[in-house]
Amino acid sequence: MKFDTLQQGISFYEKYARVSGFDSRLYSTKKRKSDGKISLKYCVCNKEDFRETLRLHADCKKKRPITRMGCKARITLKLINDQNNYMIFFFHEGHTHPLTTPNSTHHTKQSRNLTLAHKKYIMDNSRANIGATISYKLMKEHVGGYHNMVASVTDFKNFQRDIRKHIRGKDAEMLIENFKRKQEMCSSFFFKYEVDDKQHLIRVFWADAIGRKSYASFGDVVSFDTTFSMNEYCMVLSFFTSVDNSKSCVTFTAVLLYREDTEPFVW
C-alpha cells in the first residue's frame, strides 16, 4: 500500500490496530544522510519488547504492571525514491498475546477518549471538591456501567492533573477575579486582599450577604478559629463563627492568612 504522507501511513496502522483489538505505538526512525528525510518508520504493537529490557528511573519505587510481551506485530513504512510518498515495506501480523474482544475494544488506550461532556463534568466536580476517582464512579452510574465508559479512571486523573498544572501560577489572580465577579452580581459581597513586594497574595478576607446578615443578628459573640490545617500554599484558612438562637454554628466570614502572628490578626 502507498500513502501520500508518512502521517497517513501511521494513521492507517493506528486505525487498523483499533479495529483488530490492540494498541500501536511509534518505534524507531531512520533518516537519510543526504537530505535528512525519514527513510524508514517503524510502527509496532504496544506490547512489543519486554519490560525488563526497558530502562526505568532509578528512584522509581512504584510497581508497574507487566504490559510488554515481546509481540512482533509491526509495519515498516519506507520512503519511495524521488517521491515524498511512503509505502508499507514490511508487515508482520501475528501477536503473542490475546486481542481484545469487540465489546472491550473501547477500553484500549487509543480508543479511549475524554469527550467535552466528560471534561466539563470533571471541572464542575472539582469546584465541589470532588476528586477524579469519585467523578469516574459517578459518571459510571450515569451511563449505566463500566462497559459504557469511553475513558478510564487514569484519563480522569490525568485531565484533573492538567487542569491544576494549567492554573498553577495564576490561581491567585483567578481567585480575585472570581470575587470581583461575585461583587458585580451582588453588591453585598465584600472582600479585601493584600500582596507582598513580589505581588504574591499573602492574605484575603471575604464575606457574602448571608454571612453579613447573620453577623448583624448573632455577632455579639464571635469566635476566630485558626486551628485548621494548612493547604499546599502554606496559608491558614480561618473562620469567624458564632451560634444562633438554636445553638447551631453560624459562619460569618472566612480569611486566608500567610502567617499566624500579630500583624495579620490585626488586619
The predicted-structure confidence for 199-257, as pLDDT tens digits, reads as follows 888 899 999 999 999 999 998 889 988 766 666 677 888 889 999 989 899 999 999 88
DSSP state of 47: T
74, 47 Cβ separation under 8 angstroms? no
Query: Within its chain, how far is the Cα of 163 from the centroid?
Result: 5
Say how many Å lie between the first and final Cα of the chain, rounded.
74
On whether the CB atoms of residues 244 and 220 are closer than 8 A, the answer is no
pLDDT by 10s per residue, the chain, length 267: 889 888 999 999 888 888 888 888 888 888 888 878 888 899 988 888 776 544 455 555 566 666 777 788 889 999 887 678 899 999 998 888 888 777 666 666 666 677 788 888 888 888 777 888 888 888 888 878 777 777 778 888 888 888 877 777 778 888 899 999 999 999 999 999 998 888 888 899 999 999 999 999 998 889 988 766 666 677 888 889 999 989 899 999 999 888 888 888 888
In the numeric block, which cell numbers belong to residue 173?
489572580
Q: Residue 179 to residues 65, 208, 225, 232, 260: CA-CA distances in angstroms?
A: 45, 10, 23, 21, 24
User: In whole angstroms, what is the distance from residue 75 CA to residue 77 CA?
Assistant: 7
Domain residue extents for the chain: 2-104, 116-167, 171-266
pTM of the model: 0.49
In which residue are the cell numbers 480508543 written? 111
Total H helices, total E strands in the chain: 7, 10
Residue 163 has φ and ψ, to the nearest 5°, of: -65, -45
DSSP code, position 167: H
- Dihedral angle of Cα 27, 32, 33, 36, to the nearest 10 degrees: -80
Measured in degrees and rounded to the nearest 5, phi and psi for residue 116 equal -65, -35
Q: Alpha-carbon distance 40 to 12, whole Å?
A: 16
